[in-house]
Amino acid sequence: MIQVSVITPNLNMGDWLPLCVASVEDQQGVDIEHIIQDGGSSDHTLAWLRERSRASADATSGSWEHVRDDGSHYRLIWSSQQDAGMYDAVNKGLNLAKGAVCAYLNADEQYLPGSLQYMHDHFISHAQHDIVFGDAVITNADGDYCCSRQVLVPTWLHTRTCSLGVLTAAMFFRRRILEDHDMYFDTSWRNIGDVEWVLRAMQKGISMAVVRRYISVFTETGNNLNLNPSGDVERQRLRGLSPQWPCWFTPLWTLLHRFRRLLHGLYHPKPFSYDLYTRVSPQKRVTRQVAKPTFYWRGRFFLMR
């Protein structure tokens, strides 16, 4: 029985996808299905997927699976077809997902060791939680440390007017909320659909929680969707939605959010290390020691608030 389903939307991310897949494939202690929804890549993505799944040279779908040393199962399913953007690809994957716990991980993101078993076990022991967020490590394209993104349960006013203070790379949810609460992603958004999704979840009263553990790696590739000009347009669109009164007090929500972070000690992260795959080491995790971690995300301080 599949316990965790991970959806990865992909379009021309052939340099990053193998690292993402490796970080899911080496997870222990839980049965996993990894669903790759490719949007019709024109780079070497499909060649790599076909080779790994021993598919024909013109195949548009395939799979591979194996049993790990601890007895847990891993299965990857991939397909390549045109879609209406990243969130449409995620929805397609979620429609196929069989796991009781779901997540989506972009091709330029990775899970840290033990993350999937940890999150699965959290849902087992906390029946009241339907959406759970973890912390993330932000790195550059070489896997070097940039900053720590430790998070709090988001609030409606701050998310509505400022930014989403969590990362979907470290977000997990019960599959049942898809049907029970119609929590598929709105495909009219191309860049910040995750913000709308979290706001909708809050409006529906879906329970949320945070775990204080580094779950994933978010890579600053320079091509991240929410930093492009269309992301700015969508943020303006979101701010234009009614009601308008929260926008009048944006500095107050920002101040309250930072005060919450201060109370939880998130401005003083402790030294730690993390293990990840890099383009130089795509088949074996390498360890990075962080002696002086920081919360400051260069280039995103005002965006993330």
Give the least confident one: 88-97, 159-168, 242-251.
242-251
Asked if pLDDT for residue 229 goes beyond 80, the answer is no
* Share of residues in the chain with pLDDT > 70 (%): 94
Helix, strand, coil share of the chain (percent; to 5) = 35, 25, 40
pLDDT tens string 140-158: 999 999 999 999 999 999 9
What pLDDT sits at residue 301? Answer: 55
What lies within 8 Å, CB to CB, of 98 at 6+ separation is 2, 5, 33
Domain assignment of residue 178, given as a range: 4-304
Q: Give the whole-angstrom CA distance, residue 81 versus residue 253.
A: 42
Q: Of 1, 75, 80, whose CA–CA distance to 37 is shortest?
A: 80
Q: Give the whole-angstrom CA distance, residue 136 versus residue 165.
A: 11
CATH number at residue 166: 3.90.550.10
What pLDDT sits at residue 220? Answer: 94
Confidence of residue 13 (pLDDT cuts 50, 70, 90): very high
Asked if pLDDT for residue 96 goes beyond 70, the answer is yes
Which tokens in the block code for residue 17? 């996808």
Ranked by mean pLDDT, the top range of 28-42, 221-235, 247-261 is 28-42
Q: Tell how strand 131-139 and strand 208-219 pair up.
A: parallel
Total tally of structural domains belonging to the chain: 1
Q: Give the whole-angstrom CA distance, residue 1 versus residue 3.
A: 6
More confident residue, 198 or 242: 198
Cis peptide before 243 (omega within 30 of 0): yes
Does the pTM exceed 0.85? yes
162-181 average pLDDT score: 95
Q: Of 190, 150, 145, whose CA–CA distance to 167 is shortest?
A: 150
68-78 average pLDDT score: 94
pLDDT tens string 236-295: 888 777 678 888 899 999 999 999 999 999 999 999 999 999 999 999 999 999 999 999
What pLDDT sits at residue 298? Answer: 83
Question: How far is CA 220 from each of CA 16, 104, 183, rounded to the nearest angstrom?
Answer: 12, 17, 28
What pLDDT sits at residue 36? Answer: 98
